[in-house]
Amino acid sequence: DQQVKQNSPSLSVQEGRISILNCDYTNSMFDYFLWYKKYPAEGPTFLISISSIKDKNEDGRFTVFLNKSAKHLSLHIVPSQPGDSAVYFCAAVNTGTASKLTFGTGTRLQVTL
């Protein structure tokens, strides 16, 4: 029962172009969403988050969009850089309960020169 899904296991984008990573969720009780970035042999690191009361949050080159009616969020990286190559995990939580993050399976982003 995968409540958070990232249907694209991998994505390849040219340097300078936009990377769009997608995430779908099924649990309507989720009210806070996060993106984590993971390099090989390291733990995931927090990238950006969005509350369900918003539909967009921007931090530098990273923007997260939330479409609650579609239960869909996306992470946009503009412009993409080689250092962005990593696995990106989407996560969701119902902040009203014990803070258990539910993660997607990740999308491996490769930014090519």
Residue numbers at the binding site for other proteins (CB under 8 A): 32, 34, 36, 41-46, 49, 87, 89, 93, 95, 98-103, 105-106
Q: Which residue has the tokens 């918003």?
A: 54
Q: Which one, 43 or 83, has the nearer CB to other proteins? A: 43
Nearer to other proteins by Cβ, of 42 and 70: the residue is 42
Report whether 10 contacts 22 (CB < 8 A).
no
Rounded to a whole number of angstroms, the minimum distance from the CB of residue 12 to other proteins is 18
3-state secondary structure 50-85: EECCCCEEEECCEEEEEECCCCEEEEEECCCCHHHC
Contact criterion met (CB below 8 Å) for 107 and 88: yes
Cβ nearer to other proteins, comparing 25 with 89? 89
DSSP 8-state assignment for residue 6: -
Nearest distance in Å: CB 44, other proteins: 5
User: Between residues 19 and 89, which has the closer beta carbon with respect to other proteins?
Assistant: 89
Q: What's the min distance (Å) between Cβ of 106 and other proteins?
A: 6
